[in-house]
Chain A
Amino acid sequence: MQIFQTDLLCIGAGLAGERVAIEAADNGFSVTCLSLVPARRSHSSAAQGGMQAALGNSAMGEGDTPDVHFADTVKGSDWGADQECARIFADTAPIAMRQMAFWGVPWNRVVPGEQTYYKGGKPFTAFEKPENEGLIHSRSFGGTAKWRTCYTSDGTGHAVLYTLDNRAAQMGVEVHDKTEAIALIHDGETCMGAIVRCLKTGELSAYLARATLIATGGYGRIYRESTNAVICDGGGHIIALDTGKAVIGNPEAVQFHPTGIVPTDILVTEGCRGDGGTLLDVNQYRFMPDYEPEKAELASRDVVSRRMTEHMRKGLGVKSPYGDHLWLDIRHLGEKHISTKLREVQEICESFLGVDPVHQLIPVRPTQHYSMGGVRTNSDGAAYGLKGLFSAGEACCWDMHGFNRLGGNSLAETIVAGMHVGGKVVEFLQGSDTAFKTDCMREAFSRQQDRIKALIHGANGRENVYAVRNAMFDAIMKGAGIFRNGKDLQESVDKLTDILQRARKVGLRSNGLGANQELAAALKIEGQVKMALCVCYAALKRTESRGAHTREDFPERNDRDWLNRTLATWANLSDDLPTLTYEPATSVFEIPPGERGYGGGKIIPMDTPPVATPKGAKA
C-alpha cells in the first residue's frame, strides 16, 4: 500500500477545492488536491454566466452594496439560508472578485459612454460613467435587484478556474488527477484522510491528512437528465454518508434550470435571459409576463422552471420525440451580441442541435441543475460529526442557498467561501496536531480492497451496475422532480429501497483490471442509491413548498413548522433508510421571514415571528 501524507487533502480540484488549497499553501502548509479529471476539466469550467459580487461599477449596478446582495440571497433562498453565512458571503464577495482580477482573470470591464443593453427582449440605453472606465463590469441574472454578475464573455467558470489553477501551480499545490477518493479514513471522531483509487492504474493508496476537505461538487448525476458533467455523481457525499457520522443537509433541495437544451440537456446560460432572451410556447407566444408580470423571464429559477412546466401541462409545449419543450428566443439580440457575449451558447446550439440561434429558436426545458444540499458544515466550513473534516463549494451545505440558489451565487460561493473556509482550515492546522491511527487506515484500506474483490468475483451477486443505475434514475424522477407530491414520493422511496438491495448485489461483467470504469461505477452505486433515498425521503417528509421544493399537496410555505433544515445521516451501513433530524434554518435573523416578491404562493407564518438582529450580530 502506498501512503501519501499531507497537511490538507482537498478531495476535489474545482474552484472551491483549489481556492481552499491556495489559502493553505499560502500559509506554508502542504496541500494535495485529488480530482477525477485534470483540475481544469472540473465542472466549474462549464459555468458560463458569471459570479455575483456587489461591486456596483456598472450603470445598472449603481447603488449596489453587500446589504442588497445579502437581501437578494436570503429572499432567493426562500428564507432557508443560514443568514450568518449569507452575510459572510455578501461582504467578502467584492474582495474575492478583485483578488481574482489580480491573479489574472480577464473580467469584462466597463466601457464608458452610452451603451445598449436589453431587458425583456427590448433594447435600452444606459450611460456608463467615465470615472468607472476599466473597472469590473456586471450583467443581469435572475432574482437580483441590481446587475451584479461579474463575467468573462460566457466562459466565466473556464477563465476563473484556469487562473486559479495557474495560481495553485505557482503556490506548489499538488494536484493528483485521475484519482478518486472512495472512502474516508476516520475513527468515528476524527477524519484522517482518504482511501484513493488511481484512475490510471486502478491501484489503491492511502492519503493521510491533518485536515480533509470535501469539494467534490454536486450530485446531479443521480438524475438521468442533468446539466451537470458526468463526474458530478455525488462521490464526496457518498463517502461522507458512509462514515455514519457526517451529515447531509437539505438533500431534498434540488434546483432545476429553466434552459437545458433538448435532447442533450446541455445548459444554455441564464445570461441569455439576463441579456434579454425570451421564452415562447408552441404558438411562439411569450407567456412568462402572464405569470410573473414584474420579473417575467427573470424571476428566480425555481419559479421560471415551475411556470414553464405549468404552461406545458396546459398543452402549450412544443411536441418532440423527446417529450414536450418550449422555445428560447435570443434572435433579437443580434448577431454581434450573440457571437461575442454569447459565443458558447452559439457554439452549443450549432454543435449539438444544428441550430443557429441568430436566426432560429432554441428548444429548451427545465433540467436538474444544482444541489443546494450537501455535506452540512458550520459557518467555518467544518463538517458536522467529524473533526478535521471540512467541505466547500457545491458539495457542501454551508448554507447560503437555502432552498433555491440564485444564478451567479454558486460560482461566487466557491471562491468566496473557499477564501473564508480556507482561512478557517489554516487556523485549524495551526492549532492542532493529529495522531494518525494506522489501524484505522489499514482497516479502511482492507475494507475497500475486499469490496473490490467481491465486485470482481461477483461474491455478492451479479446485478448489472448500469441496470441498477437506470432503475435509480427512473425512481428518483418519479417523485423528486419539479412538482412533488406525497403519493409519488412514497412510491419513489419504496422503489429505491428495493433498488438498494439490488445495488448491494452488483457484480462486474468485465475483469476489473487497471483503470476499469465499470468498477468505478460499481464502487459508488450503493452510495448513489442511498443519496437518492436521502433526496426522496427528505422530500416526502417536508410537507410544505419552499424554493425549489414544491409540494402540490402542500402549496404553502410553512414557516410555522418547516423553517428548518433537514439533516440526513446513514447511521448504520446496513440501514435501508436515512435517519432524519432537523435544526433551525438560521440562528440569526437579519431579515425576518417575508415574501419573496415573485412566484406567488401562500405563507403560513411562525407563531412567534423573530425580530431582526442587526448586521453581523450572533443570536
Chain B
Amino acid sequence: MARMLKFNIFRYNPQDPQSVPHMQSFTIDETESMTLFIVLNRLREEQDPSLQFDFCCRAGICGACAMVVNGRPGLACHTKTKELPEENTLMPLPVFKLVGDLSVDTGTWFRAMYKKIESWCHTKKVFDPSAPEERMDNAVAESIYELDRCIECGCCVAACGTALMREDFLGATALNRVARFILDPRDERTEKEYFDIIGTDEGIFGCMGLLACQDVCPKYLPLQDVLGKLRQKMAFAAVNNLLPSFMKREVKL
C-alpha cells in the first residue's frame, strides 16, 4: 500500500492547433481496490481537466474503456493497480481514429463492419404477432450466445498484425460475428453467401493465425476455435464451389 504510482500518458488533441503528440507523466498515490477507472478520473478531477478518456459501464461489460496498458490492449476499468508496476504507460488503441488522448472512435469502425457483413438475421419469413415463438434447442441458443458475448471493445483488432497493416481487414471480432450467424438457424444465408463476405483476404484468408486476438480478448471468446473452424469451412466452400454436388461436404461449425 501507499505506493506512489507514475503514469506516462499519451497526449494529443487533434482539434487544438497548438497540440502536438507527446507523453505526459502524472503521479498519484495508490489506494485500496484502485482501478484505472479511479486513477484516470482522479487525474482529470485533481490534476488536469483536459485529459480525455472513455468509460461508460465501469464494470467490464460495455467495452468503452479499451486502451493499451503497458503495451497490451485491455479494459481500463478492469485493471487493478495492485497488478501494475509503479511506472506505467497508457496509450490509445491503434487502428481506430483518435478522438484525443486515450479516447478513440470505435463506433465508426464497427458500424462499417456491420454493413459489410450484414450483421443481422437474414430471413424471408415475416413475423406473426399472433403465433407462438419458433422453437429452438436450448443448447443451440447457448452456443449462439457464447459468440454473441463480444463487447466490441476493439482490443482484438488493436492487437492484430493484419488489421494494423490492412485497413480493410475485417478482424477477429467480425469473423466471430459471422460465425454467430452461421450457427443461428434463423439466418437463412447459404454457405456461398457467407463465402462472398469472408472468403477473401479481407476476411478469413487474411488472418495469419497468430492469435494475438484471443490472448487479449477480455471476454475470453474462443476466437482461436472460431477462426480455425471458419477457415476450414471456407476452404471447403472454396473447393465445393468447384465440385459436382454429390461430392460436396459440410463442415460443422
Contacts and interface: CB of A to CB of B under 8 A. Distances in A.
Interface of A: 37-41, 43, 45-46, 95, 97-99, 101-104, 106-111, 133-137, 152-153, 155, 158-159, 162, 166-167, 169-170, 175, 177-178, 199-202, 229-231, 263-264, 266-267, 321, 340, 344, 347-348, 351-354, 466, 508-511, 513-518
Given A103-B121, A344-B61, A263 B33 contact: yes
Nearest to A133: B135
Interface string B41-81: 00011001111101111111111100000000000001010
Given A40-B151, A45-B57, A134-B136, 12 more contacts: A38-B106, A41-B56, A46-B59, A108-B138, A152-B141, A152-B145, A155-B149, A158-B149, A166-B120, A169-B115, A202-B15, A516-B50
Interface of B: 13-16, 32-33, 35, 44-45, 48-52, 54-64, 78, 80, 99-100, 103, 105-107, 110-111, 114-115, 118-121, 125, 127, 129, 131-138, 141-142, 144-145, 148-149, 151-152, 184, 186-187
Contacts of B133: 97-98, 101-102, 135-136
A365 to B, nearest CB: 15
Contact of A264 (B58, B121, B125): B58
A58 to B, nearest CB: 12
Nearest to B75: A351
The 4 closest A-B pairs by CB, nearest first: A514-B15, A134-B135, A510-B50, A38-B107
Given A102-B186, A166-B121, A175 B111 contact: yes
Contact of B141 (A109, A155, A162): A109
B64 A41 contact: yes
A41 B62 contact: yes
A486 B129 CA distance: 50
Given A45-B62, A152-B145, A166-B114, A111 B138 contact: yes
A301 B32 CA distance: 30
Contacts of B110: 38, 40
Nearest to A202: B15
B76 to A, nearest CB: 12
B62 A37 contact: yes
15 contacts: A41-B57, A41-B62, A41-B152, A45-B57, A46-B61, A102-B133, A103-B120, A108-B142, A167-B120, A178-B99, A321-B32, A354-B80, A515-B15, A515-B100, A517-B52
Nearest to A509: B49
Given A229-B58, A509-B49, A514-B14, A178 B127 contact: no
A229 to B, nearest CB: 5
A98 B132 CA distance: 7
Given A515-B52, A516-B50, A516-B52, A135 B145 contact: no
B132 A200 contact: no
B237 to A, nearest CB: 23
A527 to B, nearest CB: 19
Given A152-B145, A178-B107, A514 B138 contact: no
A518 B100 CA distance: 13
Contacts of A110: 138
Interface of B, helix, strand, loop or mixed by DSSP: loop
B151 A158 contact: yes
B44 A518 contact: yes
Contacts of B80: 354
Contacts of B187: 104
Contact of B56 (A37, A109, A347, A516): A37
Nearest to B61: A46
B127 A99 contact: yes
A134 B186 CA distance: 14
B199 to A, nearest CB: 22
A38 B137 contact: no
A511 B127 CA distance: 53
B120 A153 contact: no
B99 A510 contact: no
Given A158-B149, A351-B60, A515-B103, A108 B15 contact: no
A162 B117 CA distance: 15
B145 A155 contact: yes
A166 B113 CA distance: 11
Given A37-B64, A159-B148, A200-B105, A109 B13 contact: no
Contacts of B105: 178, 200
Contact of A201 (B15, B32, B134, B186): B15
B121 A104 contact: yes
Contacts of A102: 125, 127, 133-134, 186
Contacts of A202: 15
A153 B148 CA distance: 11
Contacts of B44: 517-518
Nearest to B50: A510
A514 B16 CA distance: 7
A351 B54 CA distance: 19
Contacts of B58: 229-230, 264, 266
A385 to B, nearest CB: 31
B120 A170 contact: yes
Contacts of A158: 61, 148-149, 151
Contacts of B118: 170
Nearest to B38: A264
A218 to B, nearest CB: 13
B111 to A, nearest CB: 7
A109 B137 contact: yes
B93 to A, nearest CB: 14
A106 B50 contact: no
Given A45-B62, A46-B59, A169-B114, A109 B138 contact: yes
A162 B184 CA distance: 14
Given A106-B144, A158-B149, A351-B78, A177 B107 contact: yes
Contacts of B125: 102
A137 B99 CA distance: 43
A133 B54 CA distance: 44
A514 B101 CA distance: 11
Contacts of B129: 95, 98-99
Given A104-B121, A514-B14, A516-B52, A348 B106 contact: no
A510 B59 CA distance: 28
Nearest to B15: A514
A107 B99 contact: no
Contacts of B141: 106-109, 152
A522 to B, nearest CB: 9
A43 B60 contact: no
Contacts of A135: 132-133, 135
